[in-house]
Amino acid sequence: MQLSILDDYQGVALTMADWSPLVGRVEIVVERKPFADEDAAARVLAGSEIVAAMRERTPFPRSLVERLPNLKLLNTTGMRNASFDLAALRDRG
């Protein structure tokens, strides 16, 4: 299983929590730079089952959600994320 942590431009995500329970069970990939475009996001995230987004830095419109066949969980820091297409995510299940 792969977890992608997005937009960690400060490089601190892996120091902000105890990730040890995931060792050997989940491959954690940290993306420090923003994606150039939706094609780049789709290419990099295609293998991820879990995506952790930092605020609204990377948008997830329907067109991107539909290009992520392995996506099972998309979460965000904070209480909401206006850049997530919630209808597309609901349609995905």
Segment (H or E) for 3: strand 2-5
Number of domains, the chain: 1
Residue 82: which CATH number?
A: 3.40.50.720
Cα gap 88→69, rounded to integer Å: 13
Can you give the residue range of the structural domain that contains 18? 2-92
Residue 55: what pLDDT? 78
Of 7, 73, 64, nearest to 41 (Cα)? 64
Mean pLDDT by 10 residues, the chain (93 residues): 94 92 95 95 97 88 96 90 92 87
| Segment 39-59, tens digit of pLDDT | 999 999 999 999 999 877 899
